């Protein structure tokens, strides 16, 4: 190790890297996983060495972020040296639905446990099924096969978000039941844990982060009045096809 390296690596950073938890935590962060209080040891490790590890990761052009809700994740810059992946449009929409469900009264009533089917049903409730089918297959005719493919895509999206640490399986691995982590607030950054749930849901709707049947019906009426306006059609598409904000 050269003298320059000794200047870069502080004693506390060296202690963090030497910690037996570091390899697993580092691998999880690099894979895009969010680490919250559900993982007590890993979360405590990041709390203890947050400043040192943030400087460490900045050398790779990424930032170690601790969200207001407490979870950690890596936020890459444009020049990142760590491989990054981008969520699909449907995965982002499912993430917004999970955020909506996290804030819903049903979360308390159901002890925080949801199922894949509930997410799928809520997705169809909050968004136009025809447009969802078109998002999966531009040539969709609304057939049962198209709906089956949409359901499969939703399950795959939930699986991807599970790997990112946004939900946690409850019971058997194939039970389809899970709890939702606070890290879903990546999909509704303006909503924070201290907010009133009802106000939070309303703000999600106003900001395009979620929708209700009433808001969608009002929007549908407006679209019918402007059916000839292609620009309005593009705006509707953008309601649930968004780029992930970094």
CATH code, domain carrying 160: 1.10.10.2260
Task: Specify the 3-state DSSP secondary structure of 64.
Answer: strand
**For residue 80, what are the contacts with CB-CB under 8 A and spacing of at least 6?**
60, 61, 62
pLDDT at res. 191: 53
pLDDT at res. 1: 46
**59 & 164 share domain:** no
Rounded to whole angstroms, the Cα distance separating 154 from 156 reads 5
Number of domains in the chain: 2
Is the residue at 2 inside a domain?
A: no
Domain of residue 188 covers 89-238
Q: Could you tell me the mean pLDDT of each successive run of 10 residues in the chain, 246 residues long?
A: 58 97 98 95 98 97 94 93 87 90 86 93 86 79 85 95 95 90 82 54 47 43 51 47 45
pLDDT at res. 225: 57
**195 & 142 share domain:** yes
**132 & 214 share domain:** yes
Q: Per the confidence metrics, is the pTM higher than 0.75?
A: no
For the chain, the C-alpha Rg in angstroms (whole number) is 21
3-state helix, strand, coil in the chain (%, to 5): 55, 10, 35
pLDDT at res. 199: 60
**13 & 68 share domain:** yes
pLDDT at res. 143: 84
pLDDT at res. 200: 56
Is the residue at 211 inside a domain?
A: yes
pLDDT at res. 145: 85
């Amino acid at each position: 190790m050269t003298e320059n390296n000794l200047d870069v690596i502080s004693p506390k950073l060296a202690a963090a890297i030497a910690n037996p938890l570091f390899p697993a935590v580092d691998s999880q962060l690099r894979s895009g996983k969010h680490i919250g209080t559900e993982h007590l040891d890993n979360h405590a490790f990041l709390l203890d060495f947050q400043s040192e590890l943030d400087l460490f990761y900045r050398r790779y052009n990424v930032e170690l972020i601790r969200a207001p809700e407490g979870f950690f994740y890596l936020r890459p810059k444009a020049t990142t040296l760590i491989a990054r992946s981008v969520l699909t449009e449907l995965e982002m929409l499912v993430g917004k639905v999970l955020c909506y469900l996290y804030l819903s009264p049903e979360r308390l009533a159901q002890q925080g446990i949801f199922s894949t089917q509930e997410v799928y049903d809520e997705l169809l409730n909050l968004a136009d099924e025809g447009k969802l089918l078109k998002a999966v297959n531009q040539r969709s005719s609304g057939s049962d096969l198209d709906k089956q493919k949409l359901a499969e895509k939703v399950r795959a999206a939930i699986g991807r978000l599970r790997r990112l640490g946004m939900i946690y399986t409850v019971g058997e691995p194939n039970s389809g039941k899970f709890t939702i982590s606070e890290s879903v607030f990546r999909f509704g950054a303006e909503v924070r844990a201290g907010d009133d749930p009802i106000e939070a849901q309303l703000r999600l709707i106003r900001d395009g982060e979620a929708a209700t049947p009433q808001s969608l019906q009002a929007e549908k009426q407006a679209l019918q009045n402007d059916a000839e306006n292609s620009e309005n059609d593009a705006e509707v598409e953008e309601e649930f096809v968004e780029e992930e904000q970094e």
